[in-house]
Structure 1
Amino acid sequence: MVPARSPQSQVDQTVSLLPIPVSVLRRARFRVWCARVRTETTTGLQRRGRSPSATLALAGTLVLNLVVDVPTALAARPQGPDLLDVPFEELLEVEIRSAGKRDEEIRDIPASVTILTREEIARYGWITFEELLRNVPGFYLLDNTEDRFIGTRGAVGGGVQLLVNGIAQHPSLQKTITGTEIARLDIPVESIDRVEIIRGPMSVIYGNNAFQGVINVVTNAIEGSGPRASASLGTGESGRLFGRAGRVFDDGFIVLNAGGYRTEGLTGAYADMFSPAELAALIPGTHPDMDGDLDQGWGSLDLSAGWRGWEGNLRLNRRDYGIYGFTPPFDEGTRIRLDTLHASLGYAHRFSDDLGLRVTGIYSAEHYDAYQLDLVLPELEGNQRQDSRRAELELDLHWRPTAALDTIAGYRLLRIDGVGNRVDAPPLLDARVQLEPVTTHDLFTQASWQVTAPLRLVGGVRISFLPDEYQRIRRLRRDRVPVAESVPVGASAPVNGQIALLWTPTPDQVLKLAWGTASQDSDQFNLPEAERIETLEANYTLTRPRWMLTAGLFQNRLSQLVRTIQQFDPRTGIYTTLDDNSGRWRTRGLELIAEVQPLQTLHLSASLTAQQTEDLVTGIDPGYSPTLLATLKADWRRGPMTYAAYARYVDGMEADWDFVAGPEQGAVSRIGEPVAGYWDLGVNLRWAPGATGPYAALNVSNLLDTEIRYPANELTDFNLGMIGPGRVITATIGWAF
């Protein structure tokens, strides 16, 4: 999960880049940019001011088809409770499933938990799922145009497992390639019924990559949020369409969500982001700004159904967008198309009140196509494609031998295959990498024991059985013979554990003391050892009828982190890039969340996260790790109107650093200047006269048009940081059936 590294993956670290400027060579040093520049042409796209994408048009057609034939019977649906109206002392009794794959009250979950409801999302008017995550206490997001990286507890990038309706999404970290997180964030925000956020290591329950926590997005709670349709238009050529249809039966349900979104993306002049030296090194003929090069559009189709213990989910996503790759473009810009498929089928059977079995099968696939490369050299042409497939089978046995003891035991079979990375970009690179199929087996168990009325103990362990070695076939030139390579796996059966003590002296308070470990794969073929995390956490929640306070302390110790070193060879005078997994970090932090409801119609909340991350190997402050994070939210309801304001603060951050080993042993330089902290304020006005019928909203994000900058990374290596999103005004109209 090393924040230092852009998600590009490696084909060969010694490939010559031919006649490319030295300044570009240095910026491209880390992996010859062979893993993730992918795309596809969209008809009607122009250099500037692109027309709305075909993706959004397709989504619009789906939305219209959804809404035209909504049965009138769907209007008669039960209304689910609004958690914002639930007395605070009852919130600890709210049940969720994502923490332990069984229904548990929040007070009994051995971790810090945050829940966002459909009603809260509507009140604050967040336009995208990405914007929603930016306003979660303790979260921050970074952007390198190709991807988005979720940061929490001092580290960013790949450490949070994303679930949709309890189904883990396609793996983002695999040997030889790194999938994009951005494809997992293309969820229409209006399809979201609830978001469950569990902080801390969750590998015992969810296995590899549940490193820093789990986010479960629920989109099929049709009993509480029925059919609706909406359309949005905003500044920055942004627009959104959404439609939902569904029905609850005596023995089941069916829900269909379809949506699309487009925007012109980030804008800004390169002269405001590059240093004078970087500007002088650019090849003549590149674009002067990002305007029109980074537009993005995506469409999503989500079908979920259940019947008599069976449940199935199907999710299709397509995203087409422009990215920045090492240099400003010369012509149409570099573009990527991402196609993802998720399908699952599960069956739950209850043998008795105390014994049940759930069987779940999952299939997912991702195709990454960088169909249009426009970077580094004006004459460069080519494409890059990556593919991967995953098949998974899991059995979960739930057993309650006594009223005080609740257990779960499970087995998971996971197979990753079809992992390939093909780059055709002469003279820069011509390579093929194919990973042989990988099969892993996991056994896990967790027990929750109510020792006394106020005391509960929770413990669990997971053993993962990995293959003895990873194998791949690599070819670096069309005229070269493919080379088969293998690397042994060191710890072929890594173990992760969790222990927690939950003390509930009264129904309105709970103290949680927890220890846990987790592991996370990396894309480095030559570094088979997984990255590791060990967390100690204390969390206390106190509720009263009109307010609630949560305070937490945590310490994360990360080890076996992948890091990149520049090794100088005095004989040749050339720097070569080396990767190892000797990185070790420690993060200590404080998390505070307070909510108060002084009036029935007024709700206020605030959060503060203070954290300090140390690099225990070098003593250098890690990049991309802010010291302070804060959120503020307020909403007031008066008649059919809701007035809401929200703000978030992200502290200043350093960029990553280059570590040079050689004659200047220990010499360190940042790849960019530090960026300043910022406050981002948003407001939302919503009109909804009833639970059904028309509604409308006006949302303004970044109301003050505050300058937001993301620190330089190895893809968007702007010395002064990349300029983030400015003010966006969005109007929405819709109808709830």
Structure 2
Amino acid sequence: MAPSTRACVLLLGVALFAGPAAAHPPDAPEEAPVDWSQNLSLEELLQIELAAPSKQRQLAREAPGAASLVTRDQIRQFGWTSLNDLLFSQPGFFPSRDYERSVVGSRGLHEGWNNNHLLLLVDGVPVNDHDTGGAYTWDVTPLFLVRSVEIIRGPGSALYGSSATNGVVAINTISAPKTLTDDEHLEVNSEARLRLGNWGTASVEAVAATRSEHISAVLGFRYYDSDGVSYLSYDGSERIDDTGTLRRFLVREPLGSRYLYVKLEPRKALEGLSLSYHQQAWEQGTAHGWSFWVPDAEEPLREGRHLAVLRYHSPAASGLQHEYVLTFQRHDYDLDVRFYPSGAFDGFYPAGMTESLQTRMDEVFGRAQLSGELAERLSLLGGVEYSVFMYGGDEAHYSNVDLLNTGAGAPPSDERVELGPFYEAIIGHPVNNAAAYVQLAWSRLLDTPLSLTAGLRYDLKFFAYRDTTSFDDRVSRKAYEQFSPRLALVYAPTATLSLKLQASRAFRAPSPSELFSTNSWMADTDLETILPERVSTFEFTADWTLHRHLSWRTTAFHSRFENLIGYTGGQLGNLFSRRFAGVELELMADAELGARGRLMGFGNYSFVHLLGEVDGKSGTTETAERLTWAPAHTVKAGVSYRLRRFSAALQGRYQGSVRRREMDRLTPAFIDARPVSVPAWVRFDLNTRLQVNAWSAVGVSVTNLLNTESYLVRTGDLPFDYRMDARRFLISLEVNL
């Protein structure tokens, strides 16, 4: 049976199997709280139910796997401005950097430029970029629309498919908390915030929500601009000064972004329907350069996304739960990549080398899901998903160099050199993704305090493409298919203790940017040889509420990660496979001080040990005694204090040293320019806030309080690492109506 036939049979089977079930309310919409930013005690926080781990509402200690919740109030308390800030406070995650992007590494795995191992959900709908597969967790995704964030560590493909290998980050957005008053005047709940800081940083964000008799609406926007940090650094050009030593160049990291968000939720007869729209745009450079020659001219990389989501979820009280999602996504590119500066290679490129690309890609995604109870305490959930990725050619693609004439050394040209389509192989050929999933959840198994969650998902990526290397442009076909199982047991003998055991498998299929990039120096791919990434993980978690003011969690895991995709020798391919073992320890506590206020704190420690590694090209097994490209040890801790209208929060992070691979230390001049390993570092952040009156507040935030000079590893045989931000000040003014 062909893969496409198997997919159709399985999709139909799941739909029929899930159809006749009765209700169990997964992912049911909940009434918006009176205040978006409720100040909760630890005891209240632990009673909030999560939906992302199993698509049914459960307490974190009852849900399969290691799951956490971050509230809007915690975000405000610590002054976090991006999803990265949240994740870097959680165990298992650590900061990573590639080119211009600050992304998230996890559990011993360094992350690349497209942040391709986290799945980002907004109100249960996947919003990863359809071109790169990346989750936009850095500054371009603001937090003004967040009510709470659910974070799942470890594989999530059994429910969510590709990209959910290192975890799932689920944003629950705000809704209008007010309705018509007795005299039928429309009330509006709104917040606005102005932030100003060093490095030319300015940010304005505002959100307003209202609810009438027939509709609820949320409207928000954010504008952000920063010159970014500037510093002197080596690059990969091997240029030297008059003394024969490597030259250093001024690295600039500006960033500007805009975000518009609209959500409409009809009421009464159309209850459960929602329509949301996200318009996202940003502009930044590549810092050290696309080819690791620091640019000598502005090279703005302008990108934008449009995301429209139509979603219907049946009311929680209905007998059969069903959900339908239809999403349209467009990614626009306007790139001017500066590969080499003027005069590069002893004047061979007198005007340097620049490649310009203006193009766009579209995707349509759909999902249908049914769920319900088969018997008492036994529920079934099933669904089907389908998406189509479409590319219709470029608006413009050109260079001042004959990039494709490699035999002549890509010579410069006095005229504009037109280049072929960026994804030439799939013009007129859509890329299809089909999936079906089913999950069985059995609570109080055999009348014991044992719960079972078993899930299985089948994914199929298939497409036709033109072989641009052949003379006849023949059409070929290719498919990737994956099965992602999960089995989780939760034993909860008391209301304060739960023990969890989970085995799961996840994957990430190669994204379009990794499969089809051609006619360009920005990426060079080989779709015939590239393999999907896979991860198999076993986890044990002990979740113990020792006291209503003290909670402890321990997670031990063993993972095998196969076929990591990344750059080697300037070409995308499978770098290596690895086996890890590790442990994560978490502590949360609070203390009521009466008239002296309230304290809340958290602390966590993560350790990862490398068990073995296999080279992605040669298949050679390497006996690696130490983990490379990622820290083995991380420690995070934070404490917040609130006294009436004043609050202050201090957070500290420690990251152990990061070792390099042997392939990163080949060029003698580069070896002398940076140490054998990236040194360990400690950083502290401070945030204070004063509620001046009922409608306004002021605050001061300082990141990297001690102005520590710290670095993140730059992979590859290069003489530099990425310098982290120096001390940053932000002053904020908030207005609430």
Length-normalised TM-score, structure 2: 0.78
Deviations 1:516-547 (A, max 9, x none): 00110122422353211101001111112111
Q: 1:61: which partner in 2? A: none
Greater relative contact order: 1 or 2 (C-alpha under 8 angstroms, separation 6 or more)? 1
How many residues get paired?
626
Do the aligned residues in 2 keep the contact of 1:332 with 1:374 (CA within 8 Å)?
no
Distance 1:466 1:188, change over 3 A: closer
Q: 1:638: which partner in 2? A: 643
Q: 2:183: which partner in 1? A: none
Secondary structure of the corresponding residue to residue 354 of structure 2: coil
Give the deviation of 1:456 after TM superposition. Answer: 0.4
Q: 1:520: which partner in 2? A: 508
Deviations 1:551-572 (A, max 9, x none): 1101111123346666xxxxxx
Q: 1:702: which partner in 2? A: 704
Residue 555 (structure 2) pairs with residue 555 (structure 1): no
Secondary structure of the corresponding residue to residue 626 of structure 1: coil
Q: 1:407: which partner in 2? A: 380
How many Å separate the matches in 2 of 1:625 and 1:284?
Answer: 30
Deviations 1:698-721 (A, max 9, x none): 00000011112121235xx75241
Q: 1:219: which partner in 2? A: 173
Distance 1:202 1:135, change over 3 A: same
- 1:529-540 equivalences under 5 Å are 529-540=531-542
2:38 counterpart letter in structure 1: D
Give the deviation of 1:164 after TM superposition. Answer: 2.0
Match of 1:503 among 491, 511, 528: 491
Distance 1:350 1:246, change over 3 A: closer
Secondary structure of the corresponding residue to residue 679 of structure 2: coil
How many Å separate the matches in 2 of 1:195 and 1:95?
Answer: 12
How many Å separate the matches in 2 of 1:117 and 1:584?
Answer: 36
Match of 2:587 among 577, 594, 597: 594
Q: 2:63: which partner in 1? A: 109
Q: 1:394: which partner in 2? A: 367
Secondary structure of the corresponding residue to residue 130 of structure 1: helix
How many Å separate the matches in 2 of 1:240 and 1:640?
Answer: 24
Do the aligned residues in 2 keep the contact of 1:333 with 1:374 (CA within 8 Å)?
no
Do the aligned residues in 1 keep the contact of 2:119 with 2:135 (CA within 8 Å)?
no
Distance 1:309 1:277, change over 3 A: closer
Q: 2:299: which partner in 1? A: 334
2:509 counterpart letter in structure 1: D
2:734 counterpart letter in structure 1: G
How many Å separate the matches in 1 of 2:576 and 2:659?
Answer: 18
Q: 2:732: which partner in 1? A: 732
Do the aligned residues in 1 keep the contact of 2:84 with 2:104 (CA within 8 Å)?
no
2:534 counterpart letter in structure 1: R
Distance 1:321 1:283, change over 3 A: farther
2:494 counterpart letter in structure 1: T
Do the aligned residues in 2 keep the contact of 1:455 with 1:502 (CA within 8 Å)?
yes
Residue 209 (structure 2) pairs with residue 239 (structure 1): no
1:403 counterpart letter in structure 2: E
How many Å separate the matches in 2 of 1:333 and 1:182?
Answer: 24
Do the aligned residues in 1 keep the contact of 2:84 with 2:137 (CA within 8 Å)?
no
Do the aligned residues in 1 keep the contact of 2:237 with 2:292 (CA within 8 Å)?
no
- 1:212-361 equivalences under 5 Å are 212-223=166-177, 226-249=189-212, 252-270=215-233, 273=234, 279=240, 288-290=249-251, 293-307=252-266, 308-324=271-287, 325=289, 326-329=291-294, 331-350=296-315, 353-361=318-326
Do the aligned residues in 1 keep the contact of 2:42 with 2:590 (CA within 8 Å)?
no
How many Å separate the matches in 1 of 2:226 and 2:248?
Answer: 20
Match of 1:380 among 350, 353, 370: 353
Give the deviation of 1:654 after TM superposition. Answer: 2.8
Give the deviation of 1:248 after TM superposition. Answer: 3.1
Do the aligned residues in 1 keep the contact of 2:128 with 2:136 (CA within 8 Å)?
no
How many Å separate the matches in 1 of 2:377 and 2:496?
Answer: 20
Give the deviation of 1:207 after TM superposition. Answer: 0.9
Distance 1:223 1:97, change over 3 A: farther
**Stretch moving more, 674-683 or 78-87:** 78-87
Give the deviation of 1:197 after TM superposition. Answer: 0.4
1:603 counterpart letter in structure 2: M
Distance 1:542 1:281, change over 3 A: farther
Percent of aligned positions with the same letter in both sequences?
A: 19
Q: Structure 2: state its 5+ residue gaps.
A: 1-31, 179-187, 345-350, 405-418, 516-526, 615-620
Distance 1:252 1:275, change over 3 A: closer
Q: 2:21: which partner in 1? A: none
Do the aligned residues in 2 keep the contact of 1:257 with 1:303 (CA within 8 Å)?
yes
Q: Structure 1: state its 5+ residue gaps.
A: 1-75, 567-576, 662-667
Secondary structure of the corresponding residue to residue 563 of structure 2: strand
Secondary structure of the corresponding residue to residue 122 of structure 1: helix
Q: 2:723: which partner in 1? A: 723
Distance 1:513 1:260, change over 3 A: same
Give the deviation of 1:399 after TM superposition. Answer: 0.9
Q: 1:153: which partner in 2? A: 107
Give the deviation of 1:472 after TM superposition. Answer: 4.2
Give the deviation of 1:669 after TM superposition. Answer: 13
Q: 2:454: which partner in 1? A: 459
Deviations 1:117-162 (A, max 9, x none): 1111111112334333333332112223422321111113311101
Distance 1:556 1:250, change over 3 A: farther
Distance 1:152 1:265, change over 3 A: same
**Stretch moving more, 95-104 or 353-362:** 95-104
Distance 1:132 1:659, change over 3 A: closer
Q: 2:332: which partner in 1? A: 367
Give the deviation of 1:647 after TM superposition. Answer: 1.0
